Amino acid sequence: MNEYKMYIDGKWVDSSNKKKIESINPSTNETIAAYPQATTLDTETAIGSARKAFDTGEWPKMPIAERAQYLYKIAQIIREEAYNLANLESKDTGKTTKQTTFIDIPTAASAFEYFAAAGTSIKGETIPIHNPAFSFTLREPIGVIGQIIPWNYPLLMAAWKIAPAIIMGNSVIFKPSQLASLTCLELAKIFERIELPQGVVNIVTGKGDEVGRTLSKNKLVNMISFTGGNAAGREVMKLASENTKKVCLELGGKSPNIVFADCDLEAAVGGAMSAIFMNQGQMCVAGSRLILEDKIYDKFVELLLDKTKKLKIGNALASDTDFGPIISKEHRKSIINYIEIGKKEAKLLYGGNIPEDRELEKGFYLEPTIFANVTNNMRIAQEEIFGPVLSIIKFTKEQDAIAIANDTRFGLASMVWTKNLNRANRIAKQMLSGTVWINTFGGFYNEAPFGGYKESGIGRELGKEGLLEYTETKHVNIDLNPTGKSLVTSWFA
């Protein structure tokens, strides 16, 4: 078993109380590593380190092109270590090696590369005004940023948050989930390897009710960027309000997946499966509501069931595994509770059970689950389950589909499947969600903003908008009155 330490002020340290958190492989229920359970004192030490790095350190004063070189080096080493990082991510989270190898690790590397280049494009602007004055804006770093993520995409989310924050000159205290911290600690090794200045990034492992709470409340932290559940997000927002710090929140979802009769049937079935069964449905953007036109309902469901039954459930490290375990025994229990609710509300078409395969009995496995005869007012259609549970809702008219899709407190992502691009554009404009995917799912691009409407969050990640989240706008005005004195100087004369 590997023993990790936290990374604070460029040093590897244990928690002040010497307590550890064990990393459990969801595929086998085996302990694979341990890392510190940070205390409030440890978190405050990290905040002090980040504060010093920003207030008196070289990082925010460094030319942005020079900061970019550090990010390029980080990306390079992530690619060099891709095989090991992908396997570790699979062991730590239960997501398949297919996903970690082809999505998570390379995408994390490309995020550092993108923000290294994009950061140099963020500049202030000159503002034309009528008075004799020169007026312009500056984009400056905010200061110390607290960043908190969940367990479903650890390394990728670390890249999404850390890269834009530090390229703009901020310093960071980063808290990964207590259920999945290993690749984030490996990322810290990369920071040490490239000699990132001390305190620019601090990785603090531990529980949200201690580390996250301290980051959210502490007045020396200027901003909190949080990704996670809505209840926790509201608590972060409440604590941050005590000293009016900026918050950027990416919260839950109950994403609609609208499928019209004129779709490419095979593509739409495959897309619907990816939208709910990739990463065992443990995605904030999961297409958990399949809103299906009645004309193709029976055929679509038949194809969907046939393909779902062929998914191979197994150890995340096995190359032929399609569907890995749930992150923890506790989370599996939560999903099963929703499945029991669904059985009372709708019709269970497939799944919902713990597999009987003896080779899987030690892990946290659960069958992919499909419900039919769902109406949008049911709990399984309204509440975020965060697991592989699909609710199928039938519709007849286009406007009915739009109404169903928008009838939720969430607004993170939505999908539309149709060959009629005029219809697709028409519907996209009516979707109350931060992202609309047309004839695809999960098209995340570093260049494009990501975030939610309604209770799915505040602010954006990725793209230019994601960079700007980590900046303050300063307006500078220089008087150019030809007399050398502006009107205000003689106001009381």
DSSP 212-264: IHHHHH-TT--EEEEES-HHHHHHHHHHHGGGT-EEEEE-----EEEE-TTS-
pTM above 0.85, yes or no: yes
Phi, psi torsion values for 142, nearest 5 degrees: -75, -40
Residues 68 and 215 in one domain: yes
pLDDT score for 297: 98
What pLDDT score does 360 carry? Answer: 97
For residue 34, what is the enclosing H or E element?
Answer: strand 30-36
Q: How far apart are CA 160 and CA 179, in angstroms?
A: 19
Residues 33, 97, single domain; the answer is yes
Q: Are 291 and 374 in contact (CB under 8 A)?
A: no
Q: Rounded to whole angstroms, how far apart are CA atoms 43 and 203?
A: 10
What is the pLDDT at residue 487?
A: 85
Tokens of 325: 């375990």
102 and 65 fall within a common domain:
yes
- Residue-level pLDDT at 394: 98
CATH number, domain with residue 392: 3.40.309.10
Number of domains in the chain: 2
322 shares a domain with 231? no
Could you say which DSSP state residue 313 is in? B
Tokens representing residue 379 in the block: 């709990």
Are 247 and 236 a contacting pair, CB within 8 Å?
yes
Is the dihedral angle over the CA atoms 404, 406, 412, 414 positive or is it negative?
Answer: positive
Strands (E), 352-480: 369-372, 389-395, 413-417, 435-438, 457-458, 471-479
Query: Based on the domain organization, do 35 and 160 belong to the same domain?
Result: yes
List, edge to edge, every strand of the sheet that includes 457-458.
Answer: 11-13, 6-8, 201-203, 171-175, 144-148, 223-227, 246-250, 457-458
Please tell me the distance from the alpha carbon of residue 383 to that of residue 388, in angstroms, as a whole number: 13
Q: What is the pLDDT of residue 493?
A: 79
pLDDT of residue 489: 92
Which is catalytic among the residues 186, 284, 293, 367? Answer: 284
Tokens (6 digits) for 262 = 């004129």
Q: State whether residue 36 is helix, strand or coil.
A: strand
Clarify whether residues 204 and 298 are in a common domain: no
In a domain, 271, yes or no: yes
CB-based contact 146:176 (threshold 8 Å): no
Q: Which pLDDT value is given to residue 1? A: 81
Sheet order of strands, 126-127 included: 126-127, 133-141, 471-479
Please indicate, yes or no, if residue 445 is contained in any of the structural domains. Answer: no
Helix (H, G, I), strand (E, B) or coil at 172: strand
**281, part of any domain:** yes
Residues 33 and 88 in one domain: yes
**Residues 112, 220 within the same domain:** yes
CB-neighbour burial class of residue 124 (10 A; exposed 0-12, middle 13-18, buried 19+): middle
Do both 307 and 421 map to the same domain? yes
Is there a catalytic annotation at residue 89?
Answer: no
Instruction: Establish if 488 belongs to a structural domain.
Output: no
User: CA 180, CA 93: separation in Å to the nearest integer?
Assistant: 6
Q: What are phi and psi of 356, to 5 degrees?
A: -90, -5
The series of mean pLDDT values per 10 residues for the chain, 493 residues long, is: 96 97 98 98 98 98 98 98 98 98 98 97 94 96 98 98 98 98 98 98 97 98 98 97 97 98 98 98 98 98 98 97 98 98 98 96 98 98 98 98 98 98 98 98 96 98 97 97 90 88
Task: Verify that 183 and 120 share a domain, yes or no.
Answer: yes
The C-alpha atoms of residue 418 and residue 487 are separated, in whole angstroms, by 62
CATH (domain of 45): 3.40.605.10
Which residue in the list 89, 113, 235, 250 is annotated as catalytic? 250
Residue 484 lies in a domain: no
> What is the extent of the structural domain holding 409?
256-438
Judgement on whether residues 314 and 224 belong to the same structural domain of the protein: no
Active site (annotated) includes residue 263? no
pLDDT for 220: 98
Q: Is the same domain home to 260 and 247?
A: no
